[in-house]
Structure 1
Amino acid sequence: MAVSRPDHPSLLPALLAAPDPAERVPRSARDWAVDIACFVLAVLFGGFMLFATSHGSSGVHHPPRLPDVLIGALGCLALWWRRRHPVELAVALGVVSLASASVSGAGCIALFTVAVHRPFRTVAAVAVVHLVTGAIYTAVFPDPTESYWVGVVWGVVVSAAVVAWGMFVRARRQLILSLRERALRAEAEQQLRVTQARQQERARIAREMHDVLAHRISLLSVHAGALEFRPDAPPTEIAKAAGVIRASAHQALQDLREVIGVLREDATEDTPERPQPNLGDLPTLIDESRRAGMTVTYENRLHDVDAVPGALGRSAYRTVQEALTNARKHAPKATVSVIVDGSAGTDLTIEVRNPLVNAASGIPGSGTGLIGLAERAMLSGGRLEHGPTPDGEFRVRAWLPWRGETTPAGAPGGAA
């Protein structure tokens, strides 16, 4: 009997049961072949039993031939509905076998169908019906050439063989469907892992683009604003500001090319990552901010900057970069204080403070930079706090775990 392939793992129990009449589907070519084969087997076996019982050597009485043939033919035709009503059909054929030997083939096919599609408790009950009717038939129409118990034993052997065959087919189908279910689940989990990896990579690239470009573009905005509000400035200052704008724009484009390059080609293990900033680059970052007109004080309390692991140094650099960008946006005339402290085995602490002011530079910002910094600190195993202090300042403070690794600060060591 054919079974359609499951479209979803949750369909496995339904496939092992007979289809609901209200949800039956057209028979496939395989279903037609199996049904025809079952009909032919039932006819052949029933004809053999009819021949055997009609040509006994001692002239023993058997069921009348015409009713026997009619019942057997109807039983074979009834196999057409064995998928929809397997239990009912098997019980009915077992009962009518009391008056027909030719229906025994159809009865075996029906019992086999029950063994394939129903649990063992139901199969055992139907098998008992067939054994009882077989024992009664043997008692009513005995064969003088063999003992009564031999006939009963033959009935038990045939029924047991049919049930065992059906249970084997059921177990094999369950195994195949279980393996298919595992394969589908594994494929779905693999697709989920791929999707999550893509999302994480996109989020990493988005953070990188924000950290790099927000700093450069804020510098451009500050210098462009100075030219806008001081059109009467000396030509030397205008040329100097224009040069800074050109250099910042060029650097922003270069940074953008480097970040987008990650999307164009898959990096291999032999492909070195582009140079990443670290704590050693903080003085250059602060000088850029000073040239943009900011007042920045920098206090480095570390004994050896080169001892800071590369990934940790990059996270610290990005934290200072984003904090300076926010200060340039929201407190352009305020003095910003940057303090870096810590030691191996404890935490690397980054603190950026500036007085709260009401003025703003007009540079747009949505606050997503601080959210990204908090996420970066969390992924590193640390934490970040930001907000006003009782002293009337705005403070950004990050604690990043420093486990004492001594990866060179300039060496590649993971995503920034």
Structure 2
Amino acid sequence: MNRSATPRHGLRDRLVDTGLFLLAAAFGVLTAAERLDASSLAGPQWLFNLDQITGVLGCAALWLRRRRPVELALVLVALSTFSEMVAGAMLVALFTVAVHRTPRTTAAVFVLSLLAGVAFVVLRPDPDEPPFLLFLLGVAIQSAVVGWGLFIHYRRRLVLSLLDRAARAETETRLRVEQAQHRAREEIAREMHDVLGHRLSLLSVHAGALEYNPDAPSGDIARAAKVIRESAHQALQDLREVIGVLRAPVGELPQPTFADVPQLVAESSSAGMRVDLRDELTGTVPDQAGRTAYRIVQEALTNARKHAPGAEVRVHVAGEPEQGLAVEVRNTAPTTAPMPDAGAGQGLIGLAERVALAGGRLEYGPTAAGGWRLAAWLPWPP
């Protein structure tokens, strides 16, 4: 865009410069033609010749108006104190200063031009016109030129401010979109971790059992294989659900409720874990608190299965409206070595973010007996 706009801008500037030069030259030519009339010629011939030379040089100097607008204007204002034919070039210089310089600078040059007008009517009075009338005519013309230049100056400033505001708004919109996409990716990552981590940990536990006990009874092998098949099938179904809604708003991702917690505990129990669930709730758990509580229990059971094989797990939920919902999951010390690919507990980081977004608190850490405790409090509005 910039490459194509630059030539057009340069051509426009050249056309404007040429037009203003021709206007100033035409003003000088018309003034000279009028003064060639013997009845209108005032002053000696040498002064008329000097006036013509000054007018030509002033018009030629207009090609420097963009580089040195103030300096050129001051020189032409000074020449206008005695030269009548340089007035056109002086008006163009005033216009340039008004367009390209600050209003304070424009006002100063304008005042000097008015003083130059006073000096001209004193030094070169017109025998046919009153000096005061000539001075008022000059003030009117100069004021109109400066006013026009100031109008263009402020209009350009307005356009630039609007363009700058539009650019800032575009940048802010892009940043908001990027932040929204980042939050959406984080939410989807948490959902996929929570949905698939539980299923895949069940599958890994039973696959590991088959690997380390190849001589197990056929009945145990069949049960482990069934759990592996069901867990793999369910994990595949969960993955399809998540992928199916990736283009939908994050709020439309498959969400469990607190009523699914007993089923979650039952699945872990059927996988060989010793899990005890104690429910001391009064009332119906709200949807947001229930979903967060489900994810807390799910993450705790997944971590216990990976990091504390053979441990006993106790799940305790209690609460009532206005008092909040408390969720605590404890496990005893593991009886066997943890899984070799247990991971670094990244799920707890995402869980802490989830609890914080729900307005709750989360704490976790080892117990004195060698186990692990994960506890959370969630708000429960009335």
TM-score range, shorter chain: over 0.9
Question: Out of 204, 217, 235, which is 1:221 matched to?
Answer: 204
Identical counterparts, % of pairs: 53
Unaligned runs of 5+ in 1: 6-23, 405-416
| In 1: Cα distance, 2:156 partner to 2:254 partner | 57
**Contact 1:218-1:363 within 8 A present in 2 as well:** no
One-letter amino acid matched to 2:119:
I
1:94-144 deviation line (CA, Å, top 9, x unaligned): 112234222111111111111111112211111122112221111111012
Q: Which residue of 1 aligns with 2:315?
A: 338
Which deviates more, 176-185 or 208-217?
A: 176-185
One-letter amino acid matched to 2:259:
G
Structure number with the bigger relative contact order (C-alpha 8 A, sep ≥ 6) is: 1
Does 2:259 align with 1:280? yes
Q: CA deviation at 1:363?
A: 3.1
**Contact 1:113-1:166 within 8 A present in 2 as well:** yes
Q: CA deviation at 1:258?
A: 0.8
| In 2: Cα distance, 1:223 partner to 1:148 partner | 111
Question: Out of 243, 253, 270, which is 1:291 matched to?
Answer: 270
**Contact 1:49-1:104 within 8 A present in 2 as well:** no
- Name the one with the larger helix percent: 2
1:251 and 1:27, CA in 2 relative to 1: closer, same or farther beyond 3 A? closer
Unaligned runs of 5+ in 2: none
Q: Which residue of 2 aligns with 1:394?
A: 372
Q: CA deviation at 1:168?
A: 0.7
Q: Secondary structure at the match of 2:281?
A: coil
| In 1: Cα distance, 2:279 partner to 2:165 partner | 56
Question: Out of 76, 81, 100, which is 2:64 matched to?
Answer: 81
Does 2:156 align with 1:173? yes
Q: CA deviation at 1:218?
A: 0.7
One-letter amino acid matched to 1:181:
D
Q: Secondary structure at the match of 1:301?
A: strand
Q: Which residue of 1 aligns with 2:232?
A: 249
1:282 and 1:360, CA in 2 relative to 1: closer, same or farther beyond 3 A? same
Q: Which residue of 2 aligns with 1:72?
A: 55
Q: Which residue of 1 aligns with 2:339?
A: 361
1:369-380 to 2 correspondences below 5 Å? 369-380=347-358
1:59 and 1:71, CA in 2 relative to 1: closer, same or farther beyond 3 A? closer
Question: Out of 76, 97, 101, which is 2:84 matched to?
Answer: 101
Q: CA deviation at 1:356?
A: 4.0
Question: Out of 93, 97, 100, which is 1:110 matched to?
Answer: 93
| In 2: Cα distance, 1:51 partner to 1:157 partner | 23
1:243 and 1:319, CA in 2 relative to 1: closer, same or farther beyond 3 A? same
**Contact 1:216-1:248 within 8 A present in 2 as well:** yes
One-letter amino acid matched to 2:241:
E
| In 2: Cα distance, 1:56 partner to 1:175 partner | 51
Q: Which residue of 2 aligns with 1:158?
A: 141
1:59 and 1:104, CA in 2 relative to 1: closer, same or farther beyond 3 A? closer
Q: Which residue of 2 aligns with 1:316?
A: 293
Q: Which residue of 2 aligns with 1:42?
A: 24
One-letter amino acid matched to 1:172:
R
| In 2: Cα distance, 1:376 partner to 1:27 partner | 55
Q: Secondary structure at the match of 1:64?
A: helix
Which deviates more, 289-298 or 356-365?
A: 356-365
One-letter amino acid matched to 2:146:
V
- Backbone CA RMSD of aligned residues: 2.3
Q: Secondary structure at the match of 2:24?
A: helix
Q: Secondary structure at the match of 2:329?
A: strand
Q: Secondary structure at the match of 1:124?
A: helix
**Contact 1:90-1:126 within 8 A present in 2 as well:** yes
**Contact 1:53-1:101 within 8 A present in 2 as well:** no
Q: CA deviation at 1:215?
A: 0.8
Count of residues in Structure 1 that have an aligned counterpart in Structure 2? 377
| In 1: Cα distance, 2:310 partner to 2:249 partner | 43
